[in-house]
Structure 1
Amino acid sequence: MREGVEWAVHCCINLSFISPDRAVPAARLAAFHDLPTAYLNKQLNALGRAGIVSSRSGPRGGFRLGREPEKITLMDVAAAIDGSARAFLCTGIRHQGPAGRIAGPAGHRTPCTVSQAFSRAELAWRRRLARQTIAGLADEVRRANPAAPDHVRHWFDRT
């Protein structure tokens, strides 16, 4: 998973603390975590294509959440940034070299144990991310640091 996923999740949490009517420029979102604006903008545009954020151009333009934080999951964000391709791709090496001769013809008909293990783990990971929402993470931030939402709002209100 690329760092852009982390950046995107943090931006979504920050946007959840701000009025839904307010758009925040990519440069301000980037400055909050000292990130490169151009690269973060690419992540925000990917979130926009997925409907996670919406954008508005012009002097009061920027990004805001495209739907309620309760309806945005970590899996939504991860898929928007990194795509939905499988993390593990079995290349069938068990059929190559001496291992292929040991397995024999039956080995070509049985599922790959390694591939099955990674598939089960990935499915569990995806299900877990699909259960965790931006709203849930924002609540965890509030519990850990009750002043965080106000700090975020005040920081983004500065010009």
Structure 2
Amino acid sequence: MRINKGVEWAAHACALLVPLWPDKGLSLSALAEFHDLPEPYMAKQMQALARAGIVSGGRGRSGFYTLARPPNDITLLDILLAVDGDEPMFRCSEIRQNGPCASNPSECKVPCNIAAGFWQAEEAYRASLARIDLASLSGAVAAQLGPTKVAKAGEWISANVRTRG
């Protein structure tokens, strides 16, 4: 399985917005600058998050983004689906109907064990991402970074924050 790098970028952008919720946010340029990412590509991820109702705001370089819902109501699965869509990772092509020992379509009414195994794994993967919310994740990230980096990030965010209203 490979996750699009846009999903990673979107998740990091959302994590930056957690301590600012509900009435503060960051501009697109600030969100891109914080991780040294290309602004046009970050814009694409933020637009996907906005369409999914995860963030609100934007409206060009002068606008800013905020989380649209409480951080504990937004999961990594929400972010993945917003950026990558809801298409299943595995698509069964019914390969068992090919070749010299091919099964007839009438013999393939039940998914094969290989397809069922992939679908079961994807369900577990999605369920795991659905259990990780931004509030919990933000706390874990801060603990991993340590107080010095958290303070430095806090100073940077304070210098770039925008307030709604």
- Under a length normalisation based on structure 2, what TM-score does the superposition of the two structures give? 0.86
1:125 and 2:99 correspond: no
Across the aligned residues of Structure 1 and Structure 2, the Cα RMSD in angstroms comes to 2.1
Q: Distance in 2 between matches of 1:138 and 1:150?
A: 14
Aligned residues: 157
Q: Please identify which structure carries the higher helix content.
A: 1
Q: Which residue of 2 aligns with 1:72?
A: 74
Could you tell me whether the CA contact under 8 Å between 1:47 and 1:77 is conserved in 2?
A: yes
Q: Distance in 2 between matches of 1:42 and 1:115?
A: 33
Could you tell me whether the CA contact under 8 Å between 1:17 and 1:149 is conserved in 2?
A: no
- Under a length normalisation based on structure 1, what TM-score does the superposition of the two structures give? 0.89
Q: Aligned pair in 2 of structure 1 residues 14, 104: CA closer, same or farther (>3 Å)?
A: same
Could you tell me whether the CA contact under 8 Å between 1:50 and 1:80 is conserved in 2?
A: yes
Q: Which runs of 5+ in 2 are unaligned?
A: 161-165
Q: Which residue of 2 aligns with 1:14?
A: 16
Q: Which residue of 2 aligns with 1:34?
A: 36
What secondary structure does 1:81 align onto? helix
Q: Which residue of 1 aligns with 2:153?
A: 152
Q: Which runs of 5+ in 1 are unaligned?
A: none
Amino acid across the alignment from 1:152:
A
**CA shift digits 1:34-62 (9 cap, x unpaired):** 10000111100110111111115488621
Q: Distance in 2 between matches of 1:8 and 1:105?
A: 42
What secondary structure does 1:98 align onto? coil
Q: Distance in 2 between matches of 1:6 and 1:145?
A: 17
**CA shift digits 1:44-86 (9 cap, x unpaired):** 0110111111115488621011111100001000000000111
Percent of residue pairs bearing the same amino acid type: 39
Bigger mean CA offset, 88-97 vs 147-156: 147-156
Could you tell me whether the CA contact under 8 Å between 1:17 and 1:153 is conserved in 2?
A: no
Could you tell me whether the CA contact under 8 Å between 2:27 and 2:61 is conserved in 1?
A: no
Report how far residue 154 of structure 1 moved: 1.4
Q: Distance in 2 between matches of 1:52 and 1:143?
A: 24
Q: Which residue of 2 aligns with 1:5?
A: 7
1:61 and 2:59 correspond: no
Q: Aligned pair in 2 of structure 1 residues 111, 57: CA closer, same or farther (>3 Å)?
A: closer
